Amino acid sequence: MAVLAIFKGQGFTREMYEALRNEVNWENDLPRGGLIHACGFDEAGDLHVADVWESEEQMNAFVTSRLVPGFQKLGIPAPQVSIFSAHNINVYSDAQRFLLQPLTN
């Protein structure tokens, strides 16, 4: 069953996110089961992420095998996470401009 994961990171800055993004490389080495990832920062500069995953098990596999090691290597505090069973998921046609493009060699 698909899940919605909400990550909140007090003190988790844009710079930390970009360092983690480069370290974990989830945009080029796609995590199995990851469907949607959106990140933003509030007026205090704190991280907010909404992810949709095919299953909680696939999300947990990515978190434990890749994300947590990235946090540890970079000394970034782990955010708080809330996980919900997805009730309704819509991806609107205008979202196509955000689709990741396959790498070509």
Give the pLDDT confidence of 7-40 residue by residue, as tens digits.
999 999 999 999 999 999 999 999 999 999 999 9
Q: What are the start-end ranges of the H helices in 5-55? A: 14-24
Give me the CATH number covering residue 15: 3.30.70.100
Q: What is the pLDDT of residue 89?
A: 96
What region, left, alpha or beta, does residue 40 occupy, with left being phi > 0 and alpha being psi -120 to 50 degrees? beta
What is the rounded distance in angstroms from the CA atom of residue 34 to the CA atom of residue 14?
21
Does the predicted model carry a pTM greater than 0.85? yes
Q: Give me the chain's average pLDDT, please.
A: 94
Residue 64 lies in a domain: yes
According to DSSP, the residues that pair with 5 across neighbouring strands are 51, 83
Instruction: Flag whether 80 is in a domain.
Output: yes
Q: For residue 54, list its beta bridge partners.
A: none
Residue 40, domain member (yes or no): yes
Question: Number of folded domains in the chain?
Answer: 1
pLDDT band of residue 103 (cuts 50, 70, 90) is: low
